[in-house]
């Protein structure tokens, strides 16, 4: 049975842990507000960019458009850009994304596809390399730790993807990230970047509104498509940053409450042990007095 000192040391240790988790929760909550505002502000621009490209692409005939639009004509070689966090202590944020990515890789390999992975974030790299180390060709870290995430960080990833595509390293590029749905929900999602895919609602808008463009559609798309890749990656980075802070705030809040419950249980056990110790001392004193 633990001694009274053991109980006191354990209670002090848990109280110290509760202070740390409580502080981390408040820090994450303060960062979440700015991250959430940035993620929500990026959504309209990203959707407008995709819609504009869809309208321009509607005028391209056959396979005459840029390679970023029509692709290479094959879909054998796939590359996944996986956006995760550099730090842990954020609940299932990273583990859910890694599980989703692992299933995507297995699905593609089961279909006979060649798969490569670019990890944006240390946590995804650390887990995926256990099973798919030969598939990871590049790791970019340090983006999530910045106080303010800028488009320059997304441009680094975009330039890498475009360089690999221009060298003929892959046919299809997809972005895998945690979509920020709400403070309590971050949904692992996949978005195809190359070749460009027109969403169903954008198809309806394109079909109902004819456009004429100057200069030609090919010239416009050659300039817009590389920029769109950077915009979509930037939106995914902002979503991931907001989701990370939301998940960390929730996880630290749960940890703080669990620490409080543990302190209560340990205090009860300590009081019971203390009472038993006092009772034992009283019995010894009384027994000694009666013996005299």
* pLDDT-wise least confident of 55-64, 99-108, 178-187: 55-64
Q: C-alpha dihedral over 122, 125, 127, 132, to 10 degrees? A: 180
Residue 100: pLDDT band (50, 70, 90) is very high
Give the predicted TM-score (pTM) of the model: 0.83
Domains of the chain by residue range? 4-24+251-291, 42-247
| pLDDT confidence of residue 208 | 47
Residue 70: pLDDT band (50, 70, 90) is confident
Q: What is the CATH number of domain 4-24+251-291?
A: 1.10.287.80
Indicate if 42-247 has the same CATH topology as 4-24+251-291: no
pLDDT tens string 142-182:
775 555 788 888 888 999 999 999 888 889 999 999 999 88
Start-to-end CA distance of the chain, whole Å, equals 32
Residue 105: pLDDT band (50, 70, 90) is very high
Q: Is pLDDT at 27 greater than 80 in this prediction?
A: yes
Superfamily, domain 42-247: ATP synthase, F1 complex, gamma subunit (3.40.1380.10)
| pLDDT confidence of residue 91 | 87
Instruction: Note the maximum CA span of the chain.
Output: 114
pLDDT tens string 113-122:
999 999 998 9
Active-site residue list: 90
Residue 63: pLDDT band (50, 70, 90) is low
Do 85 and 96 meet the contact criterion of CB atoms below 8 Å apart? no
Which tokens is 287 given? 């027994």
Nearest to 218 by CA among 12, 66, 98: 66
């Amino acid at each position: 049975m633990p001694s009274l000192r053991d109980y006191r040391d354990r209670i002090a240790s848990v109280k110290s842990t509760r202070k740390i988790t409580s502080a981390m929760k408040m820090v994450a909550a303060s960062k979440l507000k700015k991250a959430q505002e940035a993620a929500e502000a990026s959504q309209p621009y990203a959707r407008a960019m995709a819609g504009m490209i869809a309208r321009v692409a509607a005028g391209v005939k056959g396979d005459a458009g840029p390679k970023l639009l029509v692709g290479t004509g094959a879909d054998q070689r796939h590359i996944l850009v996986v956006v995760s966090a550099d730090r842990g202590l954020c609940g299932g944020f990273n583990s859910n994304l890694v599980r989703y990515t692992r299933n995507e890789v297995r699905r593609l390999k089961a279909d006979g596809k060649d798969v490569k992975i670019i990890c944006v974030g240390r946590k995804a790299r650390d887990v995926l390399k256990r099973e798919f180390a030969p598939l990871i060709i590049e790791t970019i870290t340090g983006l999530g730790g910045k106080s303010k995430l800028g488009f320059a960080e997304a441009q680094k990833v975009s330039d890498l993807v475009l360089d690999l595509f221009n060298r003929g390293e892959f046919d299809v590029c997809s972005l895998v990230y945690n979509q920020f749905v709400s403070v309590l929900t971050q949904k692992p999602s996949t978005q195809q970047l190359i070749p460009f895919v027109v969403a169903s609602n954008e198809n309806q808008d394109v079909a109902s509104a004819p456009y004429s463009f100057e200069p030609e559609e090919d010239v416009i798309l050659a300039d817009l498509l590389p920029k769109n890749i950077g915009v979509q990656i930037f939106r995914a980075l902002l979503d991931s940053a907001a989701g990370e802070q939301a998940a960390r705030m929730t996880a630290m809040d749960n940890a703080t409450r669990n620490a409080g419950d543990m302190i209560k249980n340990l205090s009860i056990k300590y009081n019971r042990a203390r009472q038993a110790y006092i009772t034992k001392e009283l019995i010894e004193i009384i027994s000694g007095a009666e013996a005299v």
